[in-house]
């Protein structure tokens, strides 16, 4: 962890809380079959985060803070009211060490948390009625992940009840194939929604919430069956198709989240990402751009070594060029979403959030 007085520095007490949770997770991860998650490893060099990167992060977080409403949502409607966008913005702040009651953006994180808690239904479904967009289980997965991270680092009793119910809903809606789809019901499944749920379950398990073995094992089987011979991943088993960079990055992270860090699926998947990385990094403007880079960053960070150095150097320099004068990153979904994603990606070396720790 970094020391000093920079904007992303946090008190030693916060670092101890995060690490204590991480050490507890190292024991819990045995349930998930992890062969390496609980083993302390040296982090990638923080030197990759240049002063220019830190300035870009600072400007991005300032932009997010300026766009937040008192209720925790962002902007003037649309996707800014989506629980996924609010959760990702909260994770962007937390990736710099800001938590409720701690840090420059403590108020902003608390507002994100309040918005998600206030939009958790009795069933455990986290979904803002003010937002009527598609695929609400995407939002539920990202929101559950954020709640798990906050609970894991703060032991906030307000969060545990909502988190337990949110996790129970994910478990109850896993379909017969082992995956999840757009709505909280046992219907079909796709890889994109599935990664959101298994990552949320991993974070919840790390925070001490019970997740059954069979749920994880069924998800592992589903994700593996979605892999194509070229190492990439298809969207749905019911409609086999070609590999694409965003969902292939998500497929690898899904396996990582389920505790699979080695094996032919990981090797082939990383090879596919590496071979397709250069052209995809520069494919900005698509609504899948930040989605793909969010998961690619996690996949390459966990792979470490040359995978991480090559990827981070490339995406770092590209994101610096994409940042706009107001500190934001543009995205067809909404600029708050693009900015939150960019800040999370750039801050991956911080390793403050337990879900991103190696």
Tens-place pLDDT, residues 248-260: 999 999 999 999 9
What pLDDT score does 131 carry? 75
Is 267 among the domain residues?
yes
List C-alpha distances in Å: 154 to 26, 114, 172, 287.
18, 15, 27, 33
**What is the pLDDT confidence band of residue 282, given thresholds at 50, 70 and 90?**
low
- pLDDT of residue 44 exceeding 50: no
| Alpha carbon distance 251, 253 (integer Å) | 5
- pLDDT tens profile 71-84: 999 998 899 999 99
Look at the block and give the residue holding tokens 């209720």.
71
- 146's tokens: 């954020």
Higher pLDDT: 325 or 26? It is 325
Instruction: Tell me if 114 sits within 8 A of 150, measured CB to CB.
Output: no
- pLDDT tens profile 180-230: 999 999 989 999 999 999 999 999 999 999 999 999 999 999 999 999 999
**What is the pLDDT confidence band of residue 238, given thresholds at 50, 70 and 90?**
confident
| Alpha carbon distance 86, 336 (integer Å) | 9
- pLDDT of residue 280 exceeding 60: no
Is 118 among the domain residues?
yes
Backbone φ, ψ for residue 68 (5° rounding): -80, 135
**What is the pLDDT confidence band of residue 90, given thresholds at 50, 70 and 90?**
very high
Is 40 among the domain residues?
no
SS (H, E, C) the chain: CCCCCCCCCCCHHHHHHHHHHHHHHHHHHHHHCCCCCCCCCCCCCHHHCCHHHHHHHHHHHHHHHHHECCCCCECCCHHHHCHHHHHHHHHHHHCCCCECCECCCHHHHHHHHHHHHHCECCCCCECCCCCCCCCHHHHHHHHHHHHHHHHHHHCCHHHHHHHHHHHHHHHHCCCCCCCECCCCCCCCCEHHHHHHHHHHHHHHHHCCCCCCHHHHHHHHHHHHHCECCCCCECCCCCCCCCCCHHHHHHHHHHHHHCCCCCCHHHHHHHHHHHHHHHHHHCCCCCCCHHHHHHHHHHHHHHHCHHHHHHHHHHHHHHHHHHCCCCCCCCCCCCHHHHHHHHHHHHCHHHCCCHHHCC
For 65-70, what is the mean pLDDT?
A: 98
What pLDDT score does 1 carry? 29
Percent of the chain with pLDDT over 90: 76
- pLDDT of residue 309 exceeding 80: yes
Percent of the chain with pLDDT over 70: 84
The domain in which residue 344 lies consists of 13-29+46-356
Instruction: Tell me if 295 sits within 8 A of 246, measured CB to CB.
Output: yes
- pLDDT of residue 17 exceeding 60: no
Is 287 among the domain residues?
yes
Instruction: Tell me if 137 sits within 8 A of 196, measured CB to CB.
Output: yes
**What is the pLDDT confidence band of residue 265, given thresholds at 50, 70 and 90?**
very high
**What is the pLDDT confidence band of residue 8, given thresholds at 50, 70 and 90?**
low
What is the value of pTM for the model shown?
Answer: 0.88
Is 35 among the domain residues?
no
CATH assignment at residue 89: 1.50.10.20
For 138-156, what is the mean pLDDT?
A: 96
Is 41 among the domain residues?
no
Nearest to 312 by CA among 328, 294, 300: 300
- pLDDT of residue 48 exceeding 90: no
**What is the pLDDT confidence band of residue 285, given thresholds at 50, 70 and 90?**
low
- pLDDT of residue 305 exceeding 80: yes
What pLDDT score does 357 carry? 85
For 44-65, what is the mean pLDDT?
A: 89
Instruction: Tell me if 83 sits within 8 A of 337, measured CB to CB.
Output: no
- pLDDT of residue 279 exceeding 70: no
What pLDDT score does 79 carry? 93
Task: Determine how many CB atoms are found less than 10 A away from the CB of residue 223.
Answer: 27
**What is the pLDDT confidence band of residue 60, given thresholds at 50, 70 and 90?**
very high
* Domain count across the chain: 1
Residue 91 CA from chain centroid, whole number: 8
What pLDDT score does 239 carry? 87
- pLDDT of residue 16 exceeding 80: no
Nearest 5°: the CA angle 191, 195, 200 is: 155
- pLDDT of residue 274 exceeding 50: yes
Average pLDDT over the chain, rounded to an integer: 87
Is 39 among the domain residues?
no
């Amino acid at each position: 962890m970094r020391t000093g007085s920079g904007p992303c520095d946090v008190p030693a007490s916060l670092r101890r809380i995060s690490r204590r949770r991480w050490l507890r997770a190292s024991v819990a991860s045995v349930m998930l079959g992890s062969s390496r998650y609980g083993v302390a490893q040296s982090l990638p060099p923080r030197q990759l985060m240049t002063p220019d990167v830190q300035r870009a992060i600072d400007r991005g977080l300032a932009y997010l803070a300026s766009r937040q409403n008192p209720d925790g949502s962002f902007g003037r409607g649309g996707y800014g009211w989506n629980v996924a966008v609010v959760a990702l913005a909260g994770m962007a702040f937390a990736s710099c060490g800001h938590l409720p009651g701690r840090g420059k953006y403590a108020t902003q994180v608390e507002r994100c948390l309040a918005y998600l808690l206030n939009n958790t239904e009795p069933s455990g479904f986290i979904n803002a009625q003010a937002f009527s967009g598609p695929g609400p289980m995407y939002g539920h997965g990202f929101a559950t992940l954020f709640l798990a991270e906050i609970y894991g680092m703060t032991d906030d009793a307000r969060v545990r009840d909502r988190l337990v119910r949110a996790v129970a809903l994910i478990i109850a809606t896993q379909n017969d194939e082992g995956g999840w789809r757009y709505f909280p019901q046992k219907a079909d499944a796709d890889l994109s929604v599935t990664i959101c749920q298994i990552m949320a379950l991993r974070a919840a398990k790390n925070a001490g919430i019970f997740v059954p073995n069979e749920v994880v094992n069924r998800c592992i089987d589903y994700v593996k069956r979605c892999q194509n011979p070229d190492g990439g991943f298809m969207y749905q088993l019911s409609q086999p198709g070609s590999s694409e960079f965003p969902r292939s990055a998500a497929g690898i992270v899904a396996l990582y989240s389920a505790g699979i860090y080695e094996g032919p699926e990981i090797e082939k998947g990383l090879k596919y990402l590496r071979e397709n990385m250069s052209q995809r990094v520069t494919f900005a403007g698509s609504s899948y751009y930040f989605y793909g880079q969010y998961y690619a960053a996690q996949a390459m960070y966990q792979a470490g070594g040359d995978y991480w150095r090559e990827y981070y150097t490339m995406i770092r320099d590209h994101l610096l060029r994409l940042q706009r004068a107001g500190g934001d990153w543009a995205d067809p979904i909404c600029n708050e979403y693009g900015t939150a994603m960019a800040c999370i990606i750039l801050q991956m070396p911080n390793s403050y959030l337990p879900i991103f720790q190696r």
